Amino acid sequence: MGPQGSGKGTQAKLISDKLGIPDFAMGQLIRDEVSNKTEFGKKLNEIIIKGELVSDVDAANLLKLRLQSKDTENGYVLDGYPRNMDQYNAFNFDKPTHVILIDIQIEESLRRLGSRVTCDVCGQIDSLKNGINIGDSCVCGGIWVQRADDKKEAIERRLDIYKKDTAPVINKYEEQGAVYKVDGSGSVDKVHDLIMKIIT
């Protein structure tokens, strides 16, 4: 868990690689299911093309389905989920062993997200600081764009929502003794080391 720009997606991938377990972000799970054109995927697609949001119960059921695969036997990483109490209540079929809370200052969050670019086709995320320019081509053939929700006011609004929605979820996991805070201000490698010390 962590606010936008905390690097939680990057860290989730690193943990996944290191431990050889899959990592899931709910948005990606939904996109995968839709593009696999399963029965459930078709149902989700109907919701999405109507412009509606996939319900927390549907999203949780999708995760539950995915967890039946063998590759999750030794565990899995959830990237930024559950992020509010409705999702927490829907995610009632498993309990995390470690809830890693990546802590960063709002100024750092803004600085990082302000330079964030996203591929409009594959959804990969990178940074203007890595020499990418808006409009350049991604390896997949897509174009690097700055998403509207990576602009300053949108970021501040999302950070507010994050704080308000996520605090009660964190409280719940704190009561279970599962929460570990990590200082997210250092480099990607440094934060990864801090996390691996906690997990292992």
Binding residues (CB under 5 A) for Zn ion: these are 119, 121-122, 138, 140, 142
Q: Which residues contact 200 (CB under 8 A, 6 or more apart)?
A: none
Q: What is the closest distance, in whole angstroms, from the C-beta atom of residue 133 to Zn ion in the complex?
A: 15
Q: What is the closest distance, in whole angstroms, from the C-beta atom of residue 141 to Zn ion in the complex?
A: 7
Residue 65 or 121 with smaller CB distance to Zn ion: 121
Q: What is the closest distance, in whole angstroms, from the C-beta atom of residue 125 to Zn ion in the complex?
A: 10
Q: Assess contact for 159 and 3: CB atoms under 8 A.
A: yes
Residue 115 or 185 with smaller CB distance to Zn ion: 115
Cα 33 to Cα 22: distance, rounded to the nearest angstrom: 16
Cα 12 to Cα 43: distance, rounded to the nearest angstrom: 28
Cα 5 to Cα 122: distance, rounded to the nearest angstrom: 19
Residue 140 or 188 with smaller CB distance to Zn ion: 140
Residue 136 or 183 with smaller CB distance to Zn ion: 136
Q: What is the closest distance, in whole angstroms, from the C-beta atom of residue 122 to Zn ion in the complex?
A: 3
Q: What is the closest distance, in whole angstroms, from the C-beta atom of residue 120 to Zn ion in the complex?
A: 8
Cα 128 to Cα 149: distance, rounded to the nearest angstrom: 16
Residue 60 or 138 with smaller CB distance to Zn ion: 138
Q: Which residues contact 74 (CB under 8 A, 6 or more apart)?
A: 19, 20, 21
What is 2-48 written as a DSSP string?
Answer: --TTS-HHHHHHHHHHHHT--EE-HHHHHHHHHHTT-HHHHHHHHHH
